[in-house]
Amino acid sequence: MARNERLRRQRILRNWRQQDVADELGTAVITIQRWERGIQQPSAYYSVRLCSLFGLSAQELGLVEEDASSSEPEIVEASPSEKTPVSDLAIWTVPYARNPHFTGREDLLSTLEQRFALPGADRSTGLRHVALTQAQAIKGLGGIGKTQTAIEYAYRSRQQGRYHDVLWITAVSEETLLTSFVELGRLLPEVVSAEETDQRKIVSAILRWLEQRTQPWLMIFDNADDLEMAHPYFPRQGQGHLLITTRASAVGAFDSSLEVETMGTIEGASLLLRRTHLLESATPEEMDEAMNIVIALGHFPLAIDQAGAYIEEAGCGLQSYLQIYQTHRHALLKQRGKQMTGYPDSVATTWSLSFEQVARTHPAATELLQLCAVLAPDHIPEELLREGAPYWPEQLREAASDLFSFNQLLKTLLDFSLIKRLSKDRIVSVHRLVQAVQWDRMDTQTQRDWSERVVKAVEMIFPQDPTRVEFWPQCQRYLEQVQACDALVQQQNLQLPEAADVLLRAGSYFFEHQMFSQAEIQYQRALTLRESYWGAEHFLTGYNLEYMAVLQRNNGNYAQAEVLFERALAIREHQLGPDPLEDAASLCRLAEFCLAQQKYPLGETLARQALVIYERQWGADHLDTTNARHTLASLIERQGHYDKTEAMHRQNLAIRERELGPEHPLTTRVLNNLGILYSHQGRDEEAELCYKRVLASRQKQLGPSHFQTATAIFNLSCVYIDQGRYQEAEPFARQALALYEQHLGRQHMQTADCLSALATVLLHQGSLEQAEALLQEALELHEKHLGPVFPHVGDDLTTLGILYRKQDRYAEAEPLFQRALEINAQTFADVDPQVARNLYQFALLQEAQGKDEQAYNLYTQALDGCIQGGRFTHALTLDIRQHLVALLMKYGEAEALHILEEQLGPEHVDMARL
């Protein structure tokens, strides 16, 4: 065959016009004509361009003289009149050029090669069954790159000499499939007679020839979406491989299949830069812009190639394209641009054809696809699609109500790979660009209708009480859909009470997991909706304000929390909700806020009102009743009534252990509070046992890194500190600090508690410089978040005063103790152990300075508080008594005993003698 004729035939084989080749090379049509007629030869520059365009060597295109000794078999491409025997010809009918922009897919191509690798036996020993053992299906969404991968595999295999023949069958329909076989028959005059017109006989003759052919071959069935239709045309045996590309998700006729996924970010950016001819010269900034485009396009290959064509043709640059895409997405997804890859349809056109076929096959499936276009795409729970049926249009509602018909719905979309289904997790997913194209096909009212339906359905299915641990997996499962609803509410300006309800519940879930910033966003959106829908003074708005107040308090924003609390309290005084139980829950929230704000009498009143309602509605032993009793007990404890507090905690513990089990988080919460109570009473061993049990349970139930586990670790470190077991306390204090930083950050007020605890440990271990730095940091954070008059600030001041006293920095220490005692007077009951501790430490400072009278007064106040609090044998009580006696003994034994008896009672005389 003449060299110039090879170039012409390769062009014709690909269905390219001379003008197409000229446009791609940037030359004139007449130049192409001269090359093909042999009038002139391409220059070296154009020879390289032609080889890249066609994906063939210069010899294969006839651009250079061939070596007469070459043993490469001649390729039959278009002419049936060749005289060479068919058995000696290498048949190549791939109708597409090798894509010069092909990028990545190395893992997929490597897997294909491995699966097609023939096991050790000699190919000539016998026929092999092709359809089952040597067939591979490549499946995936239209435009995902199935055909391009098959083309690349064909060209690589040809270069490697893996096959003698490579045959391409277009299997879009039975008509195109038969046409491909007829065209192949024209290249095989010894197999198919030129006079044969019966297409079925032509197919049979070619299949027989393939099954008996001794040379290895590859047969590619492209776009075989209807595998049942295509199956009779597959060879059953022979020395070859069968490769099928299909959108069908189910490929049961094959042992295995390969799914073409979206591209990775780097891989996609490389494709985009190669497509825009920027790959070799791209700056880091251009690479970042390319990756942003890839992310915006959902890593979808056809969309990336399409974007590259637009950028090249419009000359707009990467950054400009991304800006245009944000506002003109629909138009850009419809523009294919010039290309030479054999894939002329745009993303929008490719999927629109699929959508139309879905509509003809199963109208309700179209509605399901519209629904999926509104939801968060990656994890759509199947139960949401089914249980949300009351809100769907009639056809979809009926189809979703029955499991069989629901599966038929999904099957219709799976047939076109428009969705994916993870049956094990009962999850459906849809590509973001499928969503985008489907969304853009809907008119404005349809978009709004679907948005409202989705918000109502998600509100119905999201757990009502996200604070309960047993509901956390469900909450996590639906969170993405709640966030999608949030976006729809903003985008569509939906004023729906259901939207406020579900956002508030999602906020509570985040709050329980210490994700305060996310919780605040959800709470604020819910509040805005309720104020807009119900009004600023409605009781539902008041409920929302309560949640916001508690959140701001936990975040350390006490000024904001106070404003929200006052608003909520004012609404409550003028308007109560119609549901007594909701009203009781509201009272509990307000009481908890009072606990944090040290408004103990008001909080106690509110908590008692809540408890009365719960006991009337549910009884004294109901779980909801224990919540109100828990809050009331904490408020009573802060006022020094420890005996009453312990009885209430023990009552709650018995109920929760019976109803929930000993390791349930609500049960361990009571144990934790019992531990706090025991610590206040100086019952350190009992407190330690409670904290250890809480820690073991939370590590088992929630994991070692959960925030509630971290609080148990912190509490255990504190009880060791109270007992003076600083070496044991240190690892717990350090672990707690690391976890608090992980969850809350270094600047959070609760992290400051850990800083203070670790500083105390280091102080008593002699690491004074490290301790001082941590204490200064803790004090600064506590003052920043809580204000200058707060118990935590007083604790920091006292500990810092102790440190200065140990360094003989008495002048610096004294004002710290005085300020700490002023805070104690405003925030603690006189019998609180923290008050006694601070008095005792200040007394030590005064005694160290020789101020015995002041020290005596402070010792006696501290001792009196311990005794009234019932801490007769507490280590602190013993320490105070010891120092007091030692101080008095300076003035003689008789005088000391007389003063003790006069000031503190006869029992202290006996203890002093001991």
pLDDT for 279-308, tens place per residue? 888 888 888 999 999 998 888 888 888 888
Does the pLDDT at position 125 exceed 80? no
Give 355-442's CATH code, choosing from 3.10.450, 1.25.40, 1.10.150, 1.10.10. Answer: 1.10.10
Does the pLDDT at position 127 exceed 50? no
How far out from the chain centre does Cα 488 lie?
19
Q: Which two tokens stand for residue 134?
A: 């040597």
pLDDT for 789-799, tens place per residue? 888 888 899 99
| 779 confidence band (pLDDT: 50, 70, 90) | very high
pLDDT score, position 625? 93
Least confident of 83-92, 125-134, 379-388, 708-717: 125-134
| 122 confidence band (pLDDT: 50, 70, 90) | very low
Give 106-259's CATH code, choosing from 3.10.129.10, 2.60.120.620, 3.40.50.300, 3.40.718.10. Answer: 3.40.50.300
How far apart are the C-alpha atoms of 883 and 860, rounded to whole Å?
10
pLDDT score, position 7? 83
What is the pLDDT averaged over residues 380-387?
A: 94
> Which CATH number describes the domain made up of 3-72?
1.10.260.40
Q: Is the model more confident about 494 or about 43?
A: 494
- On the question of a common fold for 106-259 and 749-827, the answer reads no
How far apart are the C-alpha atoms of 463 and 449, rounded to whole Å?
24
How far apart are the C-alpha atoms of 731 and 147, rounded to whole Å?
60
Does the pLDDT at position 874 exceed 80? no
Does the pLDDT at position 188 exceed 90? no
Q: Identify the top-confidence range among 567-581, 608-622, 822-836.
A: 608-622
Please give the single-letter amino acid code of residue 58: A
pLDDT score, position 133? 42
pLDDT for 653-686, tens place per residue? 999 999 999 988 889 999 999 998 888 777 888 9
pLDDT score, position 123? 42
Does the pLDDT at position 121 exceed 50? no
How far apart are the C-alpha atoms of 42 and 370, rounded to whole Å?
53
Does the pLDDT at position 492 exceed 50? yes
Domain boundaries, the chain: 3-72, 106-259, 265-344, 355-442, 644-740, 749-827, 855-914
What is the pLDDT averaged over residues 229-249?
A: 88
CATH H-level superfamily of 644-740: Tetratricopeptide repeat domain (1.25.40.10)
How far apart are the C-alpha atoms of 648 and 635, rounded to whole Å?
12
H-run or E-run covering 364: helix 363-374
| 908 confidence band (pLDDT: 50, 70, 90) | low
What is the pLDDT averaged over residues 256-283?
A: 86
From residue 482, how far is each of 145, 251, 348, 643, 848 by CA, in Å? 33, 35, 28, 45, 62
Q: Is the model more confident about 527 or about 81?
A: 527
pLDDT score, position 788? 85
pLDDT score, position 445? 95
pLDDT score, position 71? 37
pLDDT score, position 887? 78
Does the pLDDT at position 848 exceed 70? yes
Dihedral sign (CA 641, 643, 649, 651): negative
pLDDT score, position 45? 67
pLDDT score, position 131? 44
pLDDT score, position 85? 56
Three-class secondary structure of residue 853 per DSSP: helix
pLDDT for 514-564, tens place per residue? 888 899 999 999 999 999 999 999 999 999 999 999 898 887 787 888 899
- Cβ atoms 859, 887 nearer than 8 A: yes
What is the pLDDT averaged over residues 363-371?
A: 93
pLDDT for 304-342, tens place per residue? 888 888 888 888 889 888 888 888 888 888 777 665 555
Give 749-827's CATH code, choosing from 1.10.10.10, 1.25.40.10, 1.20.120.80, 2.102.10.10. Answer: 1.25.40.10
From residue 37, how far is each of 8, 60, 507 by CA, in Å? 8, 16, 75
pLDDT score, position 760? 93
| 757 confidence band (pLDDT: 50, 70, 90) | very high
What is the pLDDT averaged over residues 598-608?
A: 90
pLDDT for 418-454, tens place per residue? 888 888 889 999 988 888 889 988 999 999 999 999 9
Q: Is the model more confident about 720 or about 469?
A: 720
Three-class secondary structure of residue 94 per DSSP: coil
> 691: which residues sit within 8 A by CB, 6+ positions away?
672, 675, 712, 715, 716, 719
Query: How many other CB atoms sit within 10 Å of the CB of residue 404?
Result: 8
